[in-house]
Amino acid sequence: MSTSRRALLGAAVSGAAGAAVGLSAAAPAHAASWQQKWAPTATGDGLGAFETIEDDRADSHPAGHPHIYVTGDNWRFNMHTVDRDTSTDRQRQEVTGLRTGSGYLKWTQGQTWRITYSMYIPGSLKATTTFTHIMQMKQPGNGTSPIVVQSLRRVNGVQTIELNLPIAGVLVGRTDLEPLHDTWTDVDFQIKVGDGTAGSVRWTLKSGSTTVIDKTKTGVDTFLADRVRPKWGIYRSLGDTSGSLQDTYLLLTDLRGYQLV
């Protein structure tokens, strides 16, 4: 990542904490601020930056191993059309959680967290008519529903990138995907973990110095039970009807995690 793009991300995080989702405009007795809790590097931490690795867990494509690995300063997620998850109607190459030297970070009810990072979406990673998720927030455990999904979806034939809150039934925002192909995009995602109407999210995408989308939703459900855990990678259905499934990949870099305290 270039120095200028790193500066843009840093400036966004160091801005007023009052911009955080779910905060009142009134000045609190204690001025909350973002505290950095997670700052891995691909070269230094490798896959040890994450709580778990879901790399071809069905062992469907041994010749493609590893599908998730470090290349330069980036984490790379490869997806081949022959890859299959344990549910054979879909594909999954993902990592989960935020691991630190003392364990992993737990996002629990009432807390507010922020994740910033940069992603490179090649032209071969296309939006589909069924689900293609490149970030999720879930309760850990088998069979749990996603709480937040950042997805590549075809809408009336147009490729888009969107953020959805499935358990709340809320579309946070959506924008055209094609201008973001074959370039680095900065992601700034905030979540207040709350049950019922106690949660909120903010989702921002930037391309260089241009803000592509900046959307906030408050009064929404962002909690199931236990805790919320982030996931990154490629998780997509094989049910696409647009012919968009290709061998592809996703790159991530400069992952950072902050808690509002």
Q: Sheet harboring 132-138: ordered strands across?
A: 52-55, 90-96, 229-237, 132-138, 146-155, 158-165, 170-176
User: Strand 210-220 relative to strand 199-207: parallel, antiparallel, unpaired?
Assistant: antiparallel
- 234 close to 149: Cβ distance less than 8 angstroms: no
Q: What does the pLDDT read at residue 4?
A: 45
Residue 16 has pLDDT above 70, yes or no: no
Q: In sequence order, what DSSP letters do the residues of 226-246 get, joined into one string? A: S-BEEEEEEEEES--SSS---
Q: What does the pLDDT read at residue 215?
A: 98
pLDDT tens sequence across 74-83: 999 999 999 9
Residue with the larger pLDDT of the pair 124 and 143: 124
Residue 30 has pLDDT above 60, yes or no: yes
pLDDT tens sequence across 217-250: 999 999 999 999 999 999 999 999 999 999 999 9
Instruction: State the average pLDDT over residues 56-76.
Output: 98
Q: Which domains does the chain have, with CATH numbers?
A: 3-8+35-260 (2.60.120.200)
CA–CA dist 20, 201 (Å, integer)? 9
Residue 64 has pLDDT above 50, yes or no: yes
